[in-house]
Structure 1
């Protein structure tokens, strides 16, 4: 299982809309509007890490009104 967090920049007048659009993506387990450098943080859960580029580049980055992303892959601390 692969978990990743996608930090999302959105059009300033459409942050809630961006969060709702991203939350509808099948692989997204949660999407939250946040303060700070980014507007939304989405958590992704995948069975295969090879699918991460497709989810981010084809689904999240194409969701209106997303303007940009930065992705962090989470690893279990053992």
Structure 2
């Protein structure tokens, strides 16, 4: 299993709709609208780490209003 956090930059005015759509994606376990450099943070819960590029590039970037992402893969300490 792979946990990853995706920091998402969204066009102004599209944040709520984009966050709701991202939250509906199968790979997304939680989504939050946040303050700071990014607008949305999504936690991914993936059975196979090989799915990560497809989920980010195709599914998250396929959401209307998404401009850019930065992905952080989580590891146990």
Fold shared by both chains (TM-score > 0.5): yes
* Structure 2 alignment gaps of length 5 or more: none
Normalized against structure 1, the TM-score is what? 0.96
Normalized against structure 2, the TM-score is what? 0.97
Distance in 2 (CA, whole Å) between partners of 1:60 and 1:40 is 11
Distance in 2 (CA, whole Å) between partners of 1:33 and 1:45 is 18
CA RMSD of superposed structures (Å):
0.6
Where in structure 2 are the equivalents of 1:61-72 lying within 5 Å? Answer: 61-72=61-72
Q: How far off its partner does 1:43 sit?
A: 0.3
Deviations 1:15-73 (A, max 9, x none): 11110010011000011000000000000001110110000000001111111111000
Distance in 1 (CA, whole Å) between partners of 2:13 and 2:47 is 34
Alignment partner, residue 26 of structure 2:
26
Q: How far off its partner does 1:14 sit?
A: 1.1
